[in-house]
Chains A and B, each alone.
Chain A
Amino acid sequence: MANIDPKFGEALKEYGGVNFNACYNCGNCTAVCSLSTPEDSFPREMVRLSVLGLQDDLKSSLKPWLCYYCGECTTHCPQTANPGELMMSLRRWLTSQYDWTGLSGLLYKSLPLSIIAFVLTTIGVIAFAAYESFNLETIIHFGHYFEMIAIGAVFTFILLPNIIRMWWFVILKPKIQVSFSTYVKSIRELIVHMFTQKRSLGCDDNQVRWFEHLILVFGYLALLFTTVFLDWFSSQNLFVIILGYVESVVIFVVTFDFMGSRIKKNKEINKFSQPSDWFFVIWLFLMGLTAFIVRAFIDLDILETNSWMYLLHLTVLVQWALIIVPFGKWTHFLYRSFAMYFDKVKKMSA
């Protein structure tokens, strides 16, 4: 017995759902979707569950993560119910449900709150710099350790518990019996999807976007590695220096292109950009750009006289690590990979 909750539809609008109530269940969206299969049929089913407000069903569903938002469904919807955007808003909503701190939901729903968070982190960085009397060396040293600590802490205290919650919603709560060996055997799925997002190749006309995503992921992870473990900003090794430059260029060029298409709104997926989408690309872009400039300043030997540049980079970095990675769109990348993993696990246990 399911109890209908029409108020949920109103709540979902705060996560970016647009006009999905207008759906009259024709099923065109599901028919045109190149990723939907008879066993995993969407997006109509997700639209229906959202309209009815069946939250438990939505929480235990992995289907929102199976969609890579090519926008074909939205193009073909006769009711302009924007099923593609609904799937996107469900991913945001799910993220907020997985997040035990509840901050994801708050930041998604409220632009002022997001801005306050950004301002607070900026103040924090400046206050810290002032405390250290703007001594560049100490600050760079701190920056380097901050990255390591932040990665470890965010992962341990936020992302790991959230993934455990996701696991609870999709496997434990619906009482799906899974053997330990199944978990182990499916691990490959997790790794492959995390690094390649290969499923999105199934979308029609998606090869370019997939490729851009792929190099962005590798660029990002590589830059992370280069700065944290190869200590790019202090390195004397020519190879490391050039590697860092290349990686940061890749990041800001690709994100620049992404921003361009969000502005032009020439693709279905870009018609309804939410602040969280913008934060993600802009901050990634800024990360690449500021890292590039900082290293360039070092090589030109002008960073000492322009320490504000490093502070700028550090601010972007802190905001990225404390806001966007744990509570923003970055997590989609993580949850999506785990969704593939859980999906495989579920199917193997069926």
Chain B
Amino acid sequence: MEKKIGVYVCHCGGNISDYVDVEKVRQAIEDEGGVMLAKTTMFACSDSNQKDMVDDIKKNDLNGVVVASCSPKLHLTTFGNVSERAGLNKYNYVHANIREQVSWAHSDDKAGATEKAIHIVRAAIAKARFTESLEPNKIEAQKAVAIIGSGVAGMKAAIELSNMDCPVYIIEREFFIGGRVSQWGAMFTTNETGKEVVTRLYNDMIRRPNVTVFTGAEVITNVGSIGDFKLKVKITPRYVKEKCDRGKLQQAIDACPVVVPDEFNFNITSRKAIYHNFPSEYPQAAVIDMKSCTRCGKCESICDNIDFSQKEEILDIHVGSVLMATGFDPYTPHDGEFGYNEFANVVTLPQFKRMIELNENKLMHQGKEVKNIAYIYCVGSRQEEGGNTYCSRYCCTSAIHASLLVKKKYPSVYNYHFNRGIRTYGKQESLYYDSSAQGDIYLQAYEDALPVVTWNGSNSIVKINDILTGGREMEVEADLVVLVTGMVPRAENSVGTLFKLPKGRDKFFNEIHMKLRPVETFIDGVTIAGACQGPKNIMESVNSALSAATKSFSYVSKGELETEPIVAVIDPVLCTWCDACSKACPFDAISMTKDGTKSIALINNSVCKGCGMCLPVCPTDAIELIAYSNNEIESMIDALAHD
């Protein structure tokens, strides 16, 4: 079909026309092949001009449109929409940038700028001669979502998806759900306990027929892409039947000879190889930890609900979207960091939280009553360049909340907070007030002169040059030093690699855009929620879980997905399947297929992002990118190079 192109050259008030002679540009291109109409306009994006464009397109039956104006980042979509409003497929619209690339860049050379603008517009017209109407690719979407991780974020997302009638598989690596929150007693800012929060979520989640919960479960393979993820999930058995006689079970636990550190209590206590974590964690069923079990059989001889014959299972799960909610690890200080693993009375905040839970009337540590507690803030956070430079957000509030708890529970305790500026943002500030008002002492230093912990033979001495007292050296003899440790990504986070999830500089999973696309990832169909994305408290984790649930649901809700039509296409005749393209593709969109007996490359349209990385590596030039074909690009280059 013969091309009828309309061209609009914009003054942009004076932003362009002060340096580019727009009328001269218009005259220079009005006789180009295919150009039916060429106009200048004061503001191309103004309502009145948009209306005129719609009228022009309709009246003249235009099938190509070029606007020479500002950056396509600003108005490509605007003018694409103008075309659609006039009944012209938006892929027939071509944008020419003569502001950022011309008038602003060459304000010192008006004649040169005008000349460059003419070339850029000519190139856009050259491309417009080849444009075609395109329709989005449609792919089938499996209406189900897999959630990986069953902490507060995972559970809240599961409940939300279930409310939207979307089947959910929630896959938890541990034998108990609830994540970190189940480990905390009373929590800021409401004083609800972790157990209460987890119980509420669990009870709500478990009663739903469209939510399937797996514990002791791990995703081991993932093939497919948005709309169609095929996961294999390995389920490790508990070796204890779920319904069993509690009395016998307890006897069996008592009989177990294997004693190992209890990770639930951050190793400040120990447990047996057969153990349970209730009342805090669900399901309320015991489990045998096969890594430490010696198969001595003592428990089995006491309790008949113990079943060593249970077998590992591999399940196939088929979902349209994956929601990642694998949470965080508390930072582990290295040996000697503020006396950690060096002096007996240095613990981390997570350990301290467990100590408050476990000590009833007196706060005891290693047989000694604790009177003076020194909290050292920002351990593992706000480090120098090269370390964890971020702030972990939760820890100031959590430490202060803990100090209020201890003072209430053990009134004779004194709290000393060695901080670097308190960040109890928002409503959490009232806790800071309460803690100061109750007489807690706050001492502050900058990062270049952190507090120093030494040992005087029986206690830790914490020294600081306090900037709130004119930099004077102060010291506190502490019975207990609590390192207020931040959040770090899970040490075992290989599930991210399985999904090729990009990580940020902080090594947490990364979103596409911090503000505008906060739960989407560069892997289409995979969303992220909770603290696997970066430090978050419960409210923030739940907020992101709700938006990730909605986003994941939007991929699968219609049973069908639309993706951009701008993808790579293979010429089966030229392709020799040398494999170079599949190696170059950053999104794993290329695989091998058979064309009769010949091996050729196959593009997965739902994964291909049209980035064009495969094009230059193809030795036989067998790949074209839709809307950026060789013809289009070459004709643009010709137009630019021609005087």
A residues touching B (Cβ–Cβ < 8 Å)? 1-4, 6, 9-10, 19, 21-25, 45, 48-49, 51-52, 54, 79
Contact = CB atoms under 8 A, between A and B. Distances in A.
17 contacts: A1-B475, A2-B469, A2-B472, A2-B474, A3-B475, A4-B474, A4-B475, A10-B439, A21-B437, A21-B438, A22-B433, A22-B437, A45-B470, A51-B441, A52-B441, A54-B469, A79-B436
A217 to B, nearest CB: 36
Contacts of B473: 1-2
A9 B439 contact: yes
Contact of B468 (A10, A19, A48): A48
A24 B441 contact: no
Contacts of A22: 433, 436-437
A315 B231 CA distance: 96
Given A22-B433, A23-B436, A4 B441 contact: yes
B509 interface: no
Contacts of B229: none
Interface in B128-142: none
Interface string B417-443: 000001000000000110011111110
A53 B438 CA distance: 15
Given A6-B414, A6-B439, A52-B441, A79 B433 contact: yes
A24 B422 CA distance: 10
Contacts of B414: 6
A48 B476 CA distance: 16
A2 B472 CA distance: 8
A243 B516 CA distance: 84
Contacts of A25: 468
Contacts of A24: 422, 432, 436, 442
B441 A6 contact: yes
A25 B442 CA distance: 10
Interface in B447-492: 468-470, 472-476
Contact of B469 (A3, A10, A23, A48): A48
- Give 5 nearest A-B pairs by CB, closest first: A22-B437, A25-B468, A22-B436, A21-B439, A6-B414
Given A1-B475, A4-B474, A52 B438 contact: no
A140 B476 CA distance: 61
A232 B440 CA distance: 58
Determine the main DSSP class of B at the interface with A.
Answer: mixed
B377 interface: no
A108 to B, nearest CB: 21
B395 to A, nearest CB: 18
Nearest to A49: B469
Contacts of B442: 24
A4 B464 CA distance: 12
Nearest to A53: B441
B19 interface: no
A19 B437 contact: yes
B176 interface: no
A3 B472 CA distance: 11
Contacts of A23: 436
A19 B433 CA distance: 10
A45 B468 CA distance: 9
B416 interface: yes
A5 B488 CA distance: 36
Nearest to A19: B437
A24 to B, nearest CB: 6
Contacts of B438: 21
Contacts of A2: 469, 472-475
A251 B433 CA distance: 44
Contacts of A9: 439
Given A2-B469, A24-B422, 17 more contacts: A1-B473, A2-B472, A2-B475, A3-B475, A4-B441, A6-B414, A6-B439, A6-B441, A21-B437, A21-B438, A21-B440, A22-B436, A24-B432, A25-B468, A48-B469, A52-B441, A52-B474
Contacts of A6: 414, 439, 441
Contacts of A21: 436-440
A54 B416 CA distance: 15
Interface in B584-641: none
A9 B472 CA distance: 19
Contacts of B470: 45
B416 A4 contact: yes
B444 to A, nearest CB: 8
A212 to B, nearest CB: 35
A79 B429 CA distance: 11
A250 B469 CA distance: 46
Nearest to A6: B414
Interface string B360-391: 00000000000000000000000000000000
Contacts of B416: 4
B591 to A, nearest CB: 61
A10 B414 CA distance: 12
A54 B441 CA distance: 12
A10 B433 CA distance: 17
A45 B476 CA distance: 20
A17 to B, nearest CB: 11
Contacts of A1: 473-475
Contacts of B476: 4
Contacts of A79: 433, 436
Nearest to B468: A25
A93 B274 CA distance: 62
Contacts of B441: 4, 6, 51-52
A34 to B, nearest CB: 23
Nearest to B438: A21
A333 B468 CA distance: 32
B410 to A, nearest CB: 15
Contacts of B474: 1-4, 52
Contacts of B436: 21-24, 79
A125 B439 CA distance: 46
B373 to A, nearest CB: 12
Contacts of B468: 25, 48
A1 to B, nearest CB: 6
A79 B435 CA distance: 12
A3 B477 CA distance: 9
A19 B432 CA distance: 14
A21 B407 CA distance: 15
A24 B433 CA distance: 8
A79 B414 CA distance: 21
Contacts of A19: 437
Contacts of B440: 21
Nearest to B469: A48
A24 B429 CA distance: 11
Contacts of B432: 24
Contacts of B469: 2, 48-49, 52, 54
Contacts of A49: 469
Nearest to B476: A4
A28 to B, nearest CB: 14
A73 to B, nearest CB: 17
Contacts of B433: 22, 79
A19 B439 CA distance: 9
Nearest to B472: A2
A29 to B, nearest CB: 14
A52 B472 CA distance: 12
Contacts of B422: 24
Nearest to B433: A22
A21 B442 CA distance: 10
A6 B435 CA distance: 13
A32 B422 CA distance: 24
A4 B477 CA distance: 9
Which of B414, B436, B472 counts the most A-chain CB atoms under 10 A from its CB? B436
